Amino acid sequence: MAAVAEQQTTDEVSLYDADTDDFYQDVDLLQNHGINMADIKKLKSAGICTIRGLQMITKKKLCAIKGLSEAKVEKIKEGLMKISGSGGGFCTALQASVKRKQVFRVSTGSQELNKLLGGGLESMSITEAFGEFRTGKTQLSHTLCVTTQLAGENGYTGGKVIYIDTENTFRPDRLRPIADRYNLDQEAVLDNVLYTRAYTSDQQIELLDLVCAKLHEELGIFKLLIVDSIMALFRVDYSGRGELADRQQQLAQMLSKLQKISEEYNIAVFVTNQMTADPGASMSFQADPKKPIGGHILAHASTTRLSLRKGRGENRIAKIYDSPDLPENEATFSITGAGVDDAKD
């Protein structure tokens, strides 16, 4: 009996392994199911490049793509069903655990901070770092641009980075001393970081379609997407209580896209966030009456939330604020000329 169970297990695992070769099934496959190339191009220009990506889109959204009629969308959905099979997306916990093996972790530059994060920044999920100004959010973003390029544990081979800057605080030359620290070629390191600046919140959302195109163009090459900072433009573009509902709706769109991208292309997503005084907190006995902005929408979208605060000198203290599988611990790191590092004392 035990032998049978064992046999079944290996079969299932190897079957699933074969499936993972199809991790990035191209939407071009729809051609075999009667969808013409012109319509497939329309999907791609909307940032939908893979079968997994297509599975994550509602019919309503597909119909909103210019040139796709409801009949066409119906046909696309039929083709999708044929490609993805009739399993309805179910898999066993064992299969899910095999899938989770593809998850990799990116080092933050500080061993202590890595430990706090359970090994580093996790792929297929969103990590948010929030804190007051000068707590190291942008410095950490810069460091990650380099550390992502280093090979890591569990066969992680390193990869490229996409950086969306909303505050004009990216300084490419800051990457040079960080590259030196890891004995990497400076020019090569800079060449592996794709940088773009967003000026409005609309643009920030639209950019994600272009990000999808890039990720699709060089499949499996990009490993990290940074948005520094996620809320700054939303804060400017939507002001006052009257626009709050609109803002949150747009923010939800953006975060849902980020979440999908991280799973579809197996990349880590790192976003930074600001804080604001919590008006409700003055009535309570909270030690720190400040909280990250973005409300429940952002709170639910981020898989891991990291709160940063200032320590002595160049030291910074990071605390796990919210995570599905990490305890609420703290770690101290420092900001150096060569990026985020362990604290000296």
Q: Which is nearer to ligand GTP, 209 or 314 (CB)?
A: 314
Is residue 251 helix, strand or coil? Answer: helix
> Under rule CB under 6 A, which residues in 114-153 are in contact with ligand GTP?
131, 133-139
Tell whether residue 138 is a contact of Mg ion (CB under 5 A).
yes
Rounded alpha-carbon distances, angstroms, from residue 145 to 112, 158, 159, 245, 289 = 19, 11, 10, 34, 32
> Under rule CB under 6 A, which residues in 296-325 are in contact with ligand GTP?
314
Per-residue binding string, ligand GTP, 151-170, x by CB under 6 A, is: ------------------x-
Q: Which is nearer to ligand GTP, 27 or 178 (CB)?
A: 178
For residues 314 and 317, give the distance between their C-alpha atoms in angstroms, rounded to a whole number: 10
For residue 165, the tally of other CB atoms under 10 A from its CB is 19
Q: Which is nearer to Mg ion, 25 or 169 (CB)?
A: 169
| Residue 204 partner contact from ligand GTP, Mg ion, none using kind-dependent CB cut-offs of 5 to 8 Å | none
Query: Residues near 129 by Cβ (< 8 Å), separated by ≥ 6?
Result: 137, 140, 270, 271, 272, 273, 306, 307, 308, 318
Selected range binding ligand GTP among 45-53, 79-87, 207-215, 330-338, rule: CB under 6 A: 330-338
Selected range binding ligand GTP among 48-56, 204-212, 255-263, 329-337, rule: CB under 6 A: 329-337
Q: Which residue has the tokens 């066409």?
A: 72
> Under rule CB under 6 A, which residues in 206-225 are in contact with ligand GTP?
none
Count of all residues that appear for the chain in the document? 345
| Residue 259 partner contact from Mg ion, ligand GTP, none using kind-dependent CB cut-offs of 5 to 8 Å | none
For residues 244 and 148, give the distance between their C-alpha atoms in angstroms, rounded to a whole number: 35
Binder of ligand GTP out of 335, 340, 341, 343 (CB under 6 A): 335
Amino acid sitting at position 15: L
Smallest distance from Mg ion to CB 43, Å: 35
Per-residue binding string, ligand GTP, 255-274, x by CB under 6 A, is: -------------------x
Is residue 100 helix, strand or coil? Answer: helix
Query: Residues near 92 by Cβ (< 8 Å), separated by ≥ 6?
Result: 12
Q: Which is nearer to ligand GTP, 139 or 201 (CB)?
A: 139
Nearest CA to 314 among 286, 290, 341?
A: 341
Binder of ligand GTP out of 336, 340, 341, 343 (CB under 6 A): 336
Selected range binding Mg ion among 138-146, 213-221, 242-250, 297-305, rule: CB under 5 A: 138-146
Q: For residue 164, report the phi and psi dihedrals to the nearest 5 degrees.
A: -100, 115
Total of residues contacting Mg ion (CB under 5 A) = 3
Q: Which is nearer to Mg ion, 228 or 264 (CB)?
A: 228
Rounded alpha-carbon distances, angstroms, from residue 285 to 281, 307, 318 = 7, 19, 22
Selected range binding ligand GTP among 90-98, 237-245, 277-285, 332-340, rule: CB under 6 A: 332-340
* 8 Å CB contact between 168 and 232: no
Contacting positions for Mg ion (CB under 5 A): 137-138, 169
Contacting positions for ligand GTP (CB under 6 A): 131, 133-139, 169, 274, 314, 335-337
